Amino acid sequence: MLSYYKTINGHISPIPSCEPGCWINCVAPNDEEINNLIADFQIEPDFFRAAMDEEESSHIDKEDECTLIIIDIPVIEKTGKNITYSTTPVGMILTEKNVITVSTKENPIINEFTDDVVKGVQTNMKTRFVLHFMLRVASRYLQYLKQIDKISNFVERELRKSMKNSELIQLLDIEKSLVYFSSSLKANEITIEKVMRGRVVKLYDEDQDLVEDVLIEVKQAIEMSNIYLNILSGTMDAFASVISNNLNMVMKVLASLTLLISIPTVISGIYGMNVTGIPLTNFWFPVSLSLVCMGIAYFILRKKNMF
């Protein structure tokens, strides 16, 4: 689906057709729409293939008068009652007079631009538009990282009350989300640094502060994701040790009980043999002997912290 937007009187507004200085938003475009864009703007077909690839990492590519910038953006996925975070690429193609964004599905960051939430965006200023988009992406990473921290703290409190598989699986999902965020943010940082050099995308003097803000936000998000990942890894190791220790305690108690129960079994087996010469063959003696031996064994095991 193709949508056209242009800044009119300081606000991003939809327009019926493409014109110079507008922004073209492509969400899951079909082959016909892609072919029309390739023919109209002389775009390299590989640009669209890269932008539509879910596994594509962040990078910059330039061919003739067109530049492709791919940025990994964070997304939320709901699986039942659990919420997981992942990343997906969004391609921005800069032509001579237009900016084209390409994504496989709708995402909240692009919706912020289409709904005119982001202020000060000029669609005819391609570089500034790209920088504003990168800044919103970095801010969204920081927002989701704060949510992840709150979720992990809640799950940790629940685990302290009772060890359940559901909470442990949720912690694993959070750890996986942080790994995705960390790797995507590092790739975005490299891309932004290339943009900052001004060799691939032309930077103007008024864009310098904005690109520095973008880089600062991305570095902060990288540091936060690394901190949360280290904390979560330590928490997972600690809970794994607690679970292993609890299992050892259970096995130790079961082994001690087995030892105590085996004492009367051995004594009754001896007195149950069909042989002669066994002393004190009345009923109460083996019972009393079993109880005394069990008491002595319990005292020894208790001294060795087996109970």
Complete domains list, the chain, with CATH: 2-244 (3.30.460.20), 245-303 (no CATH)
Tokens of 216: 């600062």
The owner of tokens 């023919």 is 39
pLDDT reading at 31 higher than 80: yes
Burial class (CB in 10 A: 0-12, 13-18, 19+), 182: middle
Mean pLDDT of 228-240: 82
Per-residue model confidence (pLDDT) at position 141: 92
Chain length of the chain:
307
Mean pLDDT of 166-186: 85
pTM: predicted TM-score of the whole model, two decimal places: 0.79
Strand partners for 87: 74
pLDDT reading at 135 higher than 70: yes
Q: 95, 65 in Cβ contact below 8 A?
A: yes
pLDDT reading at 278 higher than 70: no
Residue 15 is inside which H or E element, if any? strand 11-15
pLDDT: is 200 or 130 the higher one? 130
Which of the four pLDDT bands, split at 50, 70 and 90, describes residue 276? low
pLDDT in tens, 209-231: 888 888 899 999 999 988 988 88
Q: How many CA atoms lie within 13 A of 7 on its CB side?
A: 17
Per-residue model confidence (pLDDT) at position 204: 74
Q: 160, 119 in Cβ contact below 8 A?
A: no
C-alpha to C-alpha distance for 81 and 154, rounded to whole angstroms: 14
Q: Which of 135, 115, 113, 105 is nearest to 23 (CA)?
A: 113
If you average pLDDT over every residue of the chain, what do you get? 83
**End-to-end CA, the chain:** 69
Burial class (CB in 10 A: 0-12, 13-18, 19+), 87: buried
C-alpha to C-alpha distance for 301 and 95, rounded to whole angstroms: 81
pLDDT reading at 307 higher than 70: no
Mean pLDDT of 253-279: 79
Per-residue model confidence (pLDDT) at position 164: 66
pLDDT in tens, 61-113: 888 788 889 999 998 887 767 778 888 899 998 888 888 888 888 888 888 88
Q: What percent of the chain clears pLDDT 90, i.e. is strictly above it?
A: 6
Q: What percent of the chain clears pLDDT 70, i.e. is strictly above it?
A: 94
